[in-house]
Amino acid sequence: MLNETQVSTYLHRLAYLGPRTANLATLNALHHAHLQKIAFENLDISLGKKLDLSTHALLDKLLQQGRGGFCYELNQAFALLLEALGFNVSRLSARVHNGKDYGPDFDHMLLLVHVDGQDYLADVGFGDCFRTPLQLGGEGVHELGLHYYLAADVEQHHVLMQARDGGAGHAQYRFSLQAHAISDFFEMCEYQQTSPLSHFTQKSICSIATLAGRVSMSNNKCIVTDSLGRHVHTIHGEDEYRALLQEYFGMRLAGDVDVGKLLVRQV
C-alpha cells in the first residue's frame, strides 16, 4: 500500500487537485489525468534495460524520473494508487487481438474497479484506448469519433471492441474477470521485453493522449493526431529526438543514453 507521501507525489504527477473520495467521479478524473500525464512507452526495452515491477522501482520510474511505461507498469502503478485511495481493484489478464488472432494469456494487464455498486474497466496501459472507464454491462463510451464497448465471444469471454462511430467494431483484446496477483504477469512481462516475436522489441514507442487526440514518437517518426487529422514528421537525429521527448512528454533521458537505439528498428 502506498503511503501518504507517495500518494501525494503521484497525484502531483497527475496534476490532480480534486477529491480523494473513492467514487466514480474520482475514478474517471484520475483515469483521464493518467492518460494525459504519463506516457505509454517502451524506451527501456529498446535500450536493453530490464524492467522491474516492484513498487519501489515503479514509483521511482514514474514519479521521480518522470517516465512512463507499458501495461504491466502503468496499470500496476495505477492499481496501487487506487487501492491507497480506498478503491476495490482487481488485476485482469487479457489476450490482445493482432488483427487475425488473440495472443497468449497475460499478454496484457487491465484493471477491474468496483465502485458505487458497479464494476468498471480501467486501462491506462494500452496506448490509444478508452479514456473513460467502461461499465460492465453498459453501453460503452463515445470519444473523439470512436465507440468503445464490450461484447462477448463464443466462449463467453469479455471482448473490448473499438469502432469508428457508425462503423463496424474491431476486437482489441479479450479477458475474463478472474483476479490475478501482479506476480502472475512476471513471465509474460519478461517475454515482452526479450522475445523477437514481441512487438515491443521491434520498435520504440512513446505515446500520450491529448485533449484533441494523441502524440506519438515511434522510431524516427513523430505523429500528432488532432481535430485536423494525422500529421507525421521525420525526426532528424538524436538532438531533435530528445527535444521532442521533452516538448511533448516532459521526459528527459540521461546524457549517456544511446538515443540512436530509439531511432531505428531493433529487429
Per-residue pLDDT in tens (0 to 9) along the chain, 267 residues:
899 999 999 999 999 999 999 999 999 999 999 999 999 999 999 999 999 999 999 999 999 999 999 999 999 999 999 999 999 999 999 999 998 999 999 999 999 999 999 999 999 999 899 999 999 999 999 999 999 999 988 677 899 999 997 889 999 999 999 999 999 999 999 999 999 999 899 999 999 999 999 999 999 999 999 999 999 999 999 999 999 999 999 999 999 999 999 998 654
pTM of this prediction?
Answer: 0.96
Query: Would you say 9 and 80 are in contact if contact means Cβ atoms under 8 Å apart?
Result: no
Domain ranges of the chain: 4-263
Is 3.30.2140.20 the CATH classification of the domain at 4-263? yes
What is the CB-side half-sphere exposure of residue 113 using CA atoms within 13 A? 33
